Amino acid sequence: MEKLYEGKAKILYKTEDSEILLTQFKDDATAFNAQKRGTIKGKGQINCTISSALFQWLESRGISTHFIDCPEPTQMRVRAVTIIPLEVVVRNIAAGSLCRQTGLTEGTLLPFPLVEFYLKNDELGDPLLTSDRLKILELATPEQIEQLQSLALKINQYLSEFFTSCQITLVDFKLEFGLDSQGQLLLADEISPDTCRLWDQQKNDPQQRVLDKDRFRRDLGEVESAYEQVQQRVLAKLGLTEN
């Protein structure tokens, strides 16, 4: 199959149908804008499985996503979209760059979910945009920006509730959206421990509770087992495993 694009975590292939792409999830991991590189064994399969499960669950709640099906455990067929070059981040608890840039202490519960738009541009280091910069860049219409904001908040509500039922706190996450050939706005890319901060509610220790890519970023060890833990709880909650 013709390779359309190889990113840091996934490879996109064309299919016979121009409206459908095949995404191959890789074990490769990068952090700090690819300055740190490594592999997380089994990550491709785990992220594909978790993403698929969450996309289907969100679909059942009325959120339109690019998900079609999984022909293989590391492969997802998706609707081809033109990605809006924005990373839509929702934060419930202060962590990561929010702490570095504002001085907020990691773990501070935010008074309301914070929706942020970052420019999806590796050369520029994915900078945080202001609302006026967003308007000037014209990467989406003002109506689409409104739509992205409200979709992001709705998805946050659903996912927060879902992860809580798995005894996991959804600290923050990054979403990507795109427009299909009919101009329909779809949730795209992936939702996984690579793109979410997830804290185990069964652990109090601030290092032990981390179940996401921060284990890799901060060399906390037991990266694979953290990803497996998330997969196991998500699938169990959805009734997709015996346990």
Ligand X SMILES: Nc1ncnc2c1ncn2[C@@H]1O[C@H](COP(=O)(O)OP(=O)(O)OP(=O)(O)O)[C@@H](O)[C@H]1O
Whose Cβ is closer to ligand X: residue 169's or residue 195's? 195
Cα Rg of the chain, angstroms: 17
Cβ-based neighbour number of residue 6 at 10 Å: 13
Please select the residue that binds ligand X; options are 122, 161, 219, 222, rule is CB under 6 A: 122
**Part of the chain binding ligand X (CB under 6 A), chosen from 44-52, 74-82, 139-147, 235-243:** 74-82
Segment contacting ligand X by CB under 6 A, of 2-10, 99-107, 127-135, 208-216:
2-10
Give the CB-nearest residue to ligand X.
7
Burial class (CB in 10 A: 0-12, 13-18, 19+), 66: buried
Nearer to ligand X, 10 or 233 (CB): 10
Q: What are phi and psi of 88, to 5 degrees?
A: -95, 115
Interface with ligand X, residue 89, by CB under 6 A: no
Q: What mask, x for binding ligand X by CB under 6 A, covers residues 16 to 55?
A: -----x----------------------------------
Q: Does 66 bind ligand X (CB under 6 A)?
A: yes
Closest distance of CB 120 from ligand X, Å: 6
Taking CB under 6 A as the binding criterion, the range among 6-14, 45-53, 92-100, 156-164 that sits at the site for ligand X is: 6-14
Asked if residue 188 binds ligand X (CB under 6 A), the reply is yes
Position among 83, 99, 110, 119 found at the interface with ligand X (CB under 6 A): 83
Dist CA 164 CA 233 (whole Å)? 11
Q: Which of 112, 204, 120, 203 is nearest to 160 (CA)?
A: 112
From the list 91, 168, 178, 198, which residue makes contact with ligand X (rule: CB under 6 A)? 178
- Give least dist CB 28 to ligand X, A: 8
Nearest partner of 113 among 156, 165, 73, 70, judged by Cα: 156
User: Which of 9, 46, 53, 187 forms a contact with ligand X (CB under 6 A)?
Assistant: 9
* 144, 84 Cβ separation under 8 angstroms: yes
Mark residues 189-218: x for contact with ligand X by CB under 6 A, - for none.
x-----------------------------
| Site residues (vs ligand X, CB under 6 A) | 5, 7-10, 12, 21, 66, 78-81, 83, 120, 122, 176, 178, 188-189
